[in-house]
Structure 1
Amino acid sequence: MNAETEYGKTYNFSEIKSREDFVQQHPLTFISHYKSYVDKMMEGKDDILTKDKPIIFAVTSGTSGTSSVLPMTQRQRINFFVQGVAVVYHSMLQAFPDSRKLQKSLKFFYTPRWRTCEAGVPVGPNSSSPTNTRQLLNVYSTPKAGFEILSEPEALYIHLLFGMKDKHIGMLEANFSSIILSSFKALDIHWKDIIEDIEKGRVNPNLKIDDDVRNELDKVLKPDSSRAQELREAFEGGPIGLAKRIWPNCHLMLAADSGSFELPANILRETYCKNLPIYSPLYAASEGLLGVNVWPLKHPSHYLLAPKSMFFEFIPVEHCKEDQPATLFLDQVQLGEEYELVISTAGGFWRYRFGDVVRVTGFYNQCPIIEFMYRQGQFLNVRGEKTSESSFYQALSKACESWSDIKLVDYCCCESILIDDQGSSWKSYAPTYYVFLELDGSGKLTAEQKNKIDEILAEQSYVYKSFRNKGSIRPMVVKIVRPGTFKELREFTIETTTASANQYKIPRTLKRKEAVNFVLDRVIKGD
């Protein structure tokens, strides 16, 4: 159907009769390949990449690299619902029968700031937001007026206020587990004010929101001293298991918990959401639906690829450095192997290397089941060693096991080339990794505890160990940052990039010098 588009004519789509023809005739592509075509579409020109007109131009988060714009068609949105949301809902009902009860959900998501391109099409994030789920807003605890608040701190306060007011909340939801964790961190600060609002039946007068929104919210609040007392008693028990004390009938947390979200998910499991199952339902991106998790009770989360949503190809990781490596099809991948995913989408991106690396963990009939590993570019690579995000996190997690009373709150890394002060010693000219840790605990890490991360990484990675032994990479530099740094980094990133609050991903490997300097400014003095 796209043979007569400008792109289809350029690449002779009319001559393609099989998947083999497609691979032989069309090169592997990166995002830069599509910019001129997307620019034309945003100007209002038709039949460029696809016959279907875009319904939005999706802006990627930019937190793990450079932000990009991708066209999204109605066909993709329908596929996302039919192949993704509907399947997940069925799986959720089977695994968690209490989901059938008529309970509200507390969903932490925010209305993005949209713009309109020359073609009159909205431009903004493609992640779940109040804008693209208007038909479902009634199932959430936040009144519709609350979703009109565009500033995140105020909107979050309203989410928490109405969520805590409803004792019978059945589910906590967000795109990512990190959003739910940061929401509980905000609750640590504001819970007394929120309880006072519930007791008095009003929205906090110090909250900076429009009067018309405030009036609508005040209409649905009534003084509730009984609920206020229940909440005070819930908070007396501390953070461990807090969610179940606030909402005794809550049966599920719905949020992504794999990749860079594994750490915040694990913190939630150990603290606020202890004894509350976490279900990571979808493997998705701005490009659309990639996979569904039909095993809600299994951990770590695995996803069944969705071949009716996209056409998949796979590049063995050992060939990722090549510009045009040979690819494998769905029926050719091997169990236990890691691959860079290549996708062709209904939005007109063909044989597109969008950066995700996955591991095949099994097969459902003939369709691969995968585990997300890391994003290309989210690795440390000062000497060609390419230490992946997952490899570094495994080493860090193992080192954390020896920290008796100190818990890891969050972390990120960068390559020393982004650090200005390299010292005066000739040895310092060898590159290294800078690691920034935010800790929860009264103690401090000893030099030995910090060095343990480097030692374990060398044990796990032969390539890293060889460079360390030769002195080509010097010992990693571990810095402790002050509490709240990663919350502030999130706010800084949202303010200075195109990322929205709904799609922010924790950048485990910092690539922007501005972000590096931001974190460096928050290193605890003397550390």
Structure 2
Amino acid sequence: MANPLMNLAFQAFAQRSTARLIQHVQQIEQAQETFLRSLLQSHQDTEFGREHKLSEIKTIDQFRLRLPIRPYSAFAPYIQRMAHGEANVLVPDPLIYFNISSGSTGQKKFIPVTARSRRFLSRSSRTAIGFAIKAALRDQRPLGKILFPMSVNPHGQTASGISYAPVSTSDMYLMDGLSRNLLFVHPPEAYQIADTTARYYICLMFALRDPNLRVILATFPILALQMCRQLEEHADSLIQDIEVGQIADWIKLEPQLRERLERKWSAAPRRAAQLRQIYQSYGRLTPQTAWSGLSLMVTARAGTSNFYFEQFPEYFGDLPIFGGIYACSEGNLGVHYDFNTDNAIPAIESTLIEFVPEDQWETDCPKTLMAWELEVGRRYRIVLTNYSGFYRYDLGDVVEIEGFFEQAPLMRFLHRRGGVISASTEKTTEAHVLATMQQLQKIFQVTLGNFCITLPKKDLPAYYLVNIELSPADRLADPEKFLQQFEVIMQSVQKFYAIKRRDQIAPPRLRILPSGSFEILRQRMIQRGISAAQIKFPHVTEDRQWLDGLSIEQEVRLE
């Protein structure tokens, strides 16, 4: 059967979803009122619904007046009971799964998943696909098979036997088998491989055999870069396996799984010869050389993503990057509408979204605005209500409004609340340090493998520790000048840092870490139970033990 992304009926279906969203954002107030009334009606007889008399609420204003904004901790006792098998607590429908948050920015959270909640989330997913198809047709970029080396293995089960895993894993696990077979270039067995290196290898092996791969999908940009490095590291072995029709003995596979994969694997000597010639000509394999007909990459945009995108041209050339869904474990928040844009349209068909303006962030009972009441250039914190059982949940995501699409604001994700550092009271965000480090890379013509700004454990006044790991091929010729420029740029992009530096914050220090340092941090996070597919390195942290145990090649101080 044909790949559904190339199927005209599927394209028409997805584009109808896109057209429906466009129609709804032209009447966004009515659309959000309708969504809320439908949700409250279906949830009014749950325990939470009876406690809060949801049946009496008819409008968004009444909803905001009756229910307070709550953190996850307010929902946790309900969810814990659901995990132990209690029904009709936050949602009326049977649970089929729990999504879990990554835990990289705090304690793990369990998010209920029902068949109904998935149906609503799928609306925004189809809409995003429709926008991607529209952009691909416009740019004459053919669509086809997808490379996505994701696991479908649950991380565990609750006391009542409900499986749980990160949302990307659960989406793959709950996807019907036919779609998996049709959409992806590798067989379904590849998703069952527990070992990350082995799974990447097998997915790359099947993908390399197909010269017409069109789409690469990665949850986060850093995972796309990790895949590229796996491709470089194992190029010889991959080409050999394609040539002879075997799977390398060193790949860690369960015997039964290996046997099933080998039955679906066969030699492709002509393709192997083509890949070997590319490898010899360029001295490496990269996605842009291995698949000359790639049409697009789908991965998270905005936030910390743009830092990693600076490394993409080396591997992907000028391949368009589509943001897909602006989402988190708790739900879908936005829909990207074009290639190479960080802005997203609110996912008003999946979520009721409220926005807390900056002047309300520190108040006990913050007032919210609705999507049609926002101002361009302002920053807001997101509050969501959806079919997963969250009612006015303070997610903590901070977005900036950069324009409007019809009556809907175009949101750009900046950072999760808590992604802030203060040596005094300046509140430097990830957006500030990302802008600074991007300028530094351009000025000094170096590529940073990664970085993180931390604070000293005891020294007062405190100062910024600028911890960087250079890409293996790069060297920083003048570290002291680099640190001086960090100071200049940081003060220009963060006015409160500039003010506090006068007499409350000591001069920053630069620490150059050995190659592989952030890989050590990644392994630590995995050992703490964070899924490899969900790891997000903080670029600022007030955890003063975050880098404990790492070596320091060089430390530089300002005079």
Q: TM-score, normalised by structure 1?
A: 0.91
2:306 is the counterpart of 1:266? no
User: AA paired with 1:3?
Assistant: Q
Structure-to-structure mapping, 1:26-425, within 5 angstroms: 26-82=67-123, 84-97=124-137, 103-128=144-169, 130-135=172-177, 136-138=179-181, 139-238=183-282, 242-268=286-312, 270-296=313-339, 299-404=340-445, 406-416=446-456, 419=457, 422=458
2:37 is the counterpart of 1:25? no
Residues 132-187 of structure 1, C-alpha deviations (whole Å, 9 max, x = no match)? 23432212122222222111111111111111122111111111221111110122
Task: Return the offset for 1:489.
Answer: 2.2
Closer/same/farther in 2, CA of residues 462 and 515 from structure 1, 3 Å limit: closer
Aligned match of 1:434: 465
Closer/same/farther in 2, CA of residues 367 and 102 from structure 1, 3 Å limit: closer
1: CA distance, partners of 2:211 / 2:542: 43
Aligned match of 1:5: 46
**What SS does the corresponding residue of 2:482 show, helix, strand or coil?**
helix
Q: Which range moves more in the overlay, 132-141 or 350-359?
A: 132-141
1: CA distance, partners of 2:132 / 2:185: 20
Aligned match of 1:524: 553
Task: Return the offset for 1:130.
Answer: 3.4
Closer/same/farther in 2, CA of residues 307 and 10 from structure 1, 3 Å limit: same
1: CA distance, partners of 2:513 / 2:273: 37
Verify the 8 A CA contact 1:493 1:515 in the aligned structure 2. Answer: no
Closer/same/farther in 2, CA of residues 204 and 163 from structure 1, 3 Å limit: same
Verify the 8 A CA contact 1:510 1:516 in the aligned structure 2. Answer: no
**Of residues 503, 522, 527 in structure 1, which corresponds to 2:534?**
503
User: AA paired with 2:206?
Assistant: F
Q: Which runs of 5+ in 1 are unaligned?
A: 423-427
Task: Return the offset for 1:240.
Answer: 9.3
User: AA paired with 2:499?
Assistant: S
2: CA distance, partners of 1:274 / 1:40: 50
Closer/same/farther in 2, CA of residues 290 and 41 from structure 1, 3 Å limit: same
Aligned match of 1:425: none
**Of residues 488, 491, 494 in structure 1, which corresponds to 2:523?**
491
**What SS does the corresponding residue of 1:127 show, helix, strand or coil?**
helix
Verify the 8 A CA contact 1:356 1:375 in the aligned structure 2. Answer: yes
Q: Which range moves more in the overlay, 24-33 or 440-449?
A: 440-449
Task: Return the offset for 1:387.
Answer: 0.7
Aligned match of 2:30: none
Verify the 8 A CA contact 2:279 2:285 in the aligned structure 1. Answer: no
Closer/same/farther in 2, CA of residues 510 and 186 from structure 1, 3 Å limit: farther
Task: Return the offset for 1:512.
Answer: 5.0
Task: Return the offset for 1:525.
Answer: 5.3
**What SS does the corresponding residue of 1:467 show, helix, strand or coil?**
helix
1: CA distance, partners of 2:283 / 2:364: 49
Aligned match of 1:473: 505
2: CA distance, partners of 1:446 / 1:101: 46
Q: Which range moves more in the overlay, 225-234 or 19-28?
A: 225-234
Verify the 8 A CA contact 1:182 1:487 in the aligned structure 2. Answer: no
Verify the 8 A CA contact 1:108 1:179 in the aligned structure 2. Answer: no
Verify the 8 A CA contact 1:315 1:325 in the aligned structure 2. Answer: yes
2: CA distance, partners of 1:120 / 1:334: 46
**What SS does the corresponding residue of 1:354 show, helix, strand or coil?**
strand
Q: Which runs of 5+ in 2 are unaligned?
A: 1-40
Task: Return the offset for 1:23.
Answer: 1.4
1: CA distance, partners of 2:244 / 2:71: 56
Closer/same/farther in 2, CA of residues 99 and 335 from structure 1, 3 Å limit: same
Verify the 8 A CA contact 2:104 2:537 in the aligned structure 1. Answer: yes
2: CA distance, partners of 1:88 / 1:357: 21
User: AA paired with 2:535?
Assistant: Y
2: CA distance, partners of 1:202 / 1:44: 46
2: CA distance, partners of 1:96 / 1:414: 42
Verify the 8 A CA contact 1:92 1:99 in the aligned structure 2. Answer: no
Q: TM-score, normalised by structure 2?
A: 0.86
Task: Return the offset for 1:523.
Answer: 2.7
User: AA paired with 1:443?
Assistant: R
Task: Return the offset for 1:356.
Answer: 0.4
**Of residues 460, 480, 503 in structure 2, which corresponds to 1:447?**
480
2: CA distance, partners of 1:379 / 1:24: 30
2: CA distance, partners of 1:85 / 1:462: 39
Residues 79-130 of structure 1, C-alpha deviations (whole Å, 9 max, x = no match)? 1212x22112221222113898573221121233332223332222222553
Closer/same/farther in 2, CA of residues 119 and 361 from structure 1, 3 Å limit: same
**What SS does the corresponding residue of 1:377 show, helix, strand or coil?**
coil
User: AA paired with 2:180?
Assistant: L
2: CA distance, partners of 1:458 / 1:152: 41
2: CA distance, partners of 1:132 / 1:321: 39
